[in-house]
Structure 1
Amino acid sequence: MYAVEQYARAHIVTDTADTFDDEHRSVPVALRYDPEDDPRLVHITLPGPHEWVFARELLEQGLRVPASSGGVRIWPCGRVQAVLEFHSAQSVAVVQLDAKPLIRFLRSTYKAATPVAH
């Protein structure tokens, strides 16, 4: 088993952006999975100190149909994108990503969680 880390680009779509350019700018997102830490969880890090940890199953489900758990909501947006909404006591962050990197990431997590036969 091994950890998986992947990077993607997301568009901020929250209505709290200061300007139109802020609202539609592309930002880096880090996707991380460590089966030795907890094989059920994935980590998504947004710019700044914003890391969200939630069930890998929620990400997989949210790519197909709207899904939520706690402060995380995920839903498909058309055929090729997904929206992730993160709620905290201080704010709400909404980002839109292409689904392909998320699907690739999920596939990698399942490979990483499978013990290697010797």
Structure 2
Amino acid sequence: MRDESEHASTVACQVTVAVGLPGDPAVLLCAQLMYDVTDPYAVRLSLGAPEAQKPVDWFFARSLLEEGLCRPAGLGNVLVSPPHRCHRDSVAIVVRSATGSARIEVPAPETAEFLRRSHALVPAGEESAHVDIDRGLAALMNSCE
């Protein structure tokens, strides 16, 4: 894992992931896990980052990723499963959309360290103290004009 934290309000972790589509063999891609205190409940997984001009971004709950380290977690478009006897060193993240699905194997040790560092910035249960409601409402109001 390479530390790519930009400043004290973000945590970034570049990893190599295995991405598998149904019926196709998995391919290795560069990816980045990102946490930003301005969106304290979420993590971003960017496939292809930082090399790709247009990485594919998935946003999901930090708590989902954390729970998925220990037991299967998630409903809907993102599912996270802990290391399995066939893949002892990786966490499986299954992402689904209207156009298909993919299984992304992310290194478990790097994922755990990424989460540890994100909790050093914003401990679990203290996320609401970092939500800027006024900024969110202003952005919403500006988008309606």
Common fold: TM-score over 0.5: yes
What corresponds to 1:28 in structure 2?
30
Q: How many positions carry a matched residue from both structures? A: 109
What corresponds to 2:51 in structure 1?
none
What corresponds to 1:20 in structure 2?
none
Unmatched 5+ stretches in structure 1: 18-22
Which of structures 1 and 2 has the larger relative contact order (alpha carbons within 8 angstroms, sep 6+)? 1
What corresponds to 2:22 in structure 1?
15
Equivalent of 2:106 in 97, 101, 104: 97
* Post-superposition offset of 1:29: 1.1
* Post-superposition offset of 1:42: 0.5
The higher radius of gyration belongs to: 2
What corresponds to 2:12 in structure 1?
5
Question: Which aligned segments of 4 or more residues in structure 1 are displaced greater than 4 angstroms?
Answer: none
Amino acid aligned to 2:56 = H
Greater strand fraction, Structure 1 or Structure 2: 1
What corresponds to 2:121 in structure 1?
112
Cα RMSD, aligned residues only:
1.9
Q: Secondary structure at the match of 1:77?
A: coil
Unmatched 5+ stretches in structure 2: 1-7, 49-53, 124-145
**Identity rate, percent:** 29
TM-score of the superposition, structure 2-length normalised?
0.68
What corresponds to 1:46 in structure 2?
47
